[in-house]
Amino acid sequence: MSDTPSAKGQEFERTLDQSAKEVARFKRDRHSPLERIQHVLHNNPTLVPVIVLAISVIAFGLIAGGRFFSAFNLSLILQQVSIIGILAAAQSLIIITAGIDLSVAAIMVLMSVIMGNLAVFAGVPSPLAILIGLGGGVGAGMMNGWLITRIKLPPFITTLGTWSIFYALLLWLSGAQSIRGQDIDANAPFLKFFGFAFNIGGARITLSAILMIVVFVVLWYMLNKTAWGRHVYAIGDDKDAAEMSGIRTDRTLMSVYGLSGLVCALAGWASIGRVGSISPQSFYEGNLDSITAVVIGGISLFGGRGSIMGALFGALIVGVFRSGLRLSGVDVLWQVFAIGWLIIIAVAIDQWIRRVSA
């Protein structure tokens, strides 16, 4: 679980090493090569998305050639997945606790509308408007957390409800109207901060892509290097056991939902720069896209398993497939078709990995 994005190879070798020793020691004849693979994946569920990402990049590089495999196109993919990627980070936090959050995209868009209304129309200074939006994200997340921990509602139903509630609120606050890019530029250009881009070689890097990477690295650190993170995993693994071993589970869950809401609001701010305007209709399927990235990233929907970095790779895989299939001249419907199969295969692999026995 503690895999750094940079130390993939070593991690892989280490787990492989361990598993081979075990074979020699206890169960010489019961471990087929397939079971050994199962063990390796079990110890490092992020390996699957890393391999899939590598293979799909190479495959599309071969099929679509230089158009796909250019620094410009690869950086474009990064840019395109940045918002869904950040949402997927928020979603990962929830899914690791064995929950699910259908309201992430609604929180994101609602907070971007609030930031826009305050800064563009109400004359509130942009930094303050952004702070209020980020605070609102924490509040919206904690509302989910409160319903789930205090009222004891299942996360799926709770966030299905709050999805509608937040969506209705954002339609009401925006009057179902977009805030145009020119108005933002004129009154509150700072809202577009994460749309800023610079060129390195042929690559075009936007700040929203950098924000995505930073969000993942920070959350990875929190989940893997702090006690709080260990508790989040323990809760997803077995909540009763976590409670009995001295974790204040409800308090931890509240912090997870609050943090997730904050990350959604951050995605909302970044989306203003990425899209260039604030549209209440944007990212309507963002919640499902975020779940897709998490699942393809090898994070178990049953909780307690998988690295948050998997969700980053999951988001990138989706981006690579979309871009690669488009550049290969494949109809959009087949892109959707392919993503569908990716989800099913990812969940099937997760089921298989979790069946690993002692």
Partner 1 sequence: MSSDMTPVVQARGIVKRYGHVTAIDQSDFELRPGEILAVIGDNGAGKSSIVKAICGATIPDEGEILIEGKPVNFTSPIEAREMGIEIVYQNLALSPALSIADNMFTGRELRKPGWMGKYLRLLDKPAMEKFARDKLTELGLMTVQSIKQPVETLSGGQRQGVAVARAAAFATKFIIMDEPTAALGVKESRKVLELIQDVRARGIPIILISHNMPHVFEVADRIHIHRLGKRLCTIDPKDYTMSDAVAFMTGAKEPPAQDAA
Q: Is 105 in the site for partner 1 (CB under 8 A)?
A: no
Best CA proximity match to 208, nearest among 80, 68, 53:
80
Query: Does 351 engage in binding with partner 1 (CB under 8 A)?
Result: no
Rule CB under 8 A: say whether 237 interacts with partner 1.
yes
Closer to partner 1 by CB, 200 or 227: give it: 227
Which of 4, 8, 16, 22 touches partner 1 (CB under 8 A)?
Answer: 22
Pair of tokens at residue 215:
């969000």
Report whether 4 contacts 312 (CB < 8 A): no
**Is 124 in contact with 260 (CB distance < 8 Å)?**
no
Give ∠ CA 249-254-260 in degrees, rounded to 5.
125
Q: How far is the CB of 99 from partner 1 (least distance, A)?
A: 16
Task: Say whether residue 246 binds partner 1 (CB under 8 A).
Answer: yes
231 binds partner 1 (CB under 8 A): yes
Q: How far apart are CA 285 and CA 296, in angstroms?
A: 17
Q: With binding defined as CB under 8 A, does residue 18 bind partner 1?
A: yes
> Do residues 222 and 263 touch, judged by C-beta distance below 8 A?
no
Region of 59-67, 130-138, 244-252, 264-272 interacting with partner 1 (CB under 8 A): 244-252
Residue 304 touching partner 1 (CB under 8 A) = yes
Our finding on whether 325 is near partner 1 (CB under 8 A) is no
Pick between residue 121 and residue 221 the one whose CB is nearest to partner 1. 221
Give the one residue of 213, 238, 277, 282 binding partner 1; rule: CB under 8 A: 238
Q: Of 134, 137, 139, nearest to 119 (Cα)? A: 134
Q: How far is the CB of 224 from partner 1 (least distance, A)?
A: 9
Which listed range, 191-199, 201-209, 224-232, 341-349, lies at the site for partner 1 (CB under 8 A)? 224-232
Contact stretch for partner 1 (CB under 8 A) within 50-58, 67-75, 188-196, 241-249: 241-249
Residues between 111 and 140 with contacts to partner 1, criterion CB under 8 A: none
CB of 357 to partner 1, least distance (A): 8
Q: Which is nearer to partner 1, 63 or 301 (CB)?
A: 301
Least separation in angstroms between residue 43's CB and partner 1 is 8
* HEC letters along the chain: CCCCCCCHHHHHHHHHHHHHHHHHHCCCCCCCHHHHHHHHHHHCCCHHHHHHHHHHHHHHHHHHHHHCCCHHHHHHHHHHHHHHHHHHHHHHHHHHCCCCCCCHHHHHHHHHHHHHHHHHHCCCCHHHHHHHHHHHHHHHHHHHHHHHHCCCCCHHHHHHHHHHHHHHHHHHHHCCCCECHHHHHHHCHHHHHHHCEEEECCEEEEHHHHHHHHHHHHHHHHHHHCHHHHHHHHHHHCHHHHHHCCCCHHHHHHHHHHHHHHHHHHHHHHHHHHHCCECCCCCCCHHHHHHHHHHHCCCCCCCCCCCHHHHHHHHHHHHHHHHHHHHCCCCHHHHHHHHHHHHHHHHHHHHHHHCCCC
C-beta of 262: minimal distance to partner 1 in Å?
Answer: 17
Q: Does 1 bind partner 1 (CB under 8 A)?
A: yes
Nearer of residues 150 and 225 to partner 1, judged by Cβ: 225
Count, residues near partner 1 per rule CB under 8 A: 30
What is the footprint of partner 1 within residues 36-95 (CB under 8 A)? 42-43
Which of 34, 151, 200, 227 binds partner 1 (CB under 8 A)? It is: 227
Q: Does 305 bind partner 1 (CB under 8 A)?
A: yes
CB 44 to partner 1: min, Å: 11
- 242 scored as a contact of partner 1 (CB under 8 A): yes
Footprint of partner 1 on this chain (CB under 8 A)?
A: 1, 18, 21-22, 25, 42-43, 221, 225-228, 230-231, 233-234, 237-238, 240-242, 244-248, 304-305, 356, 358
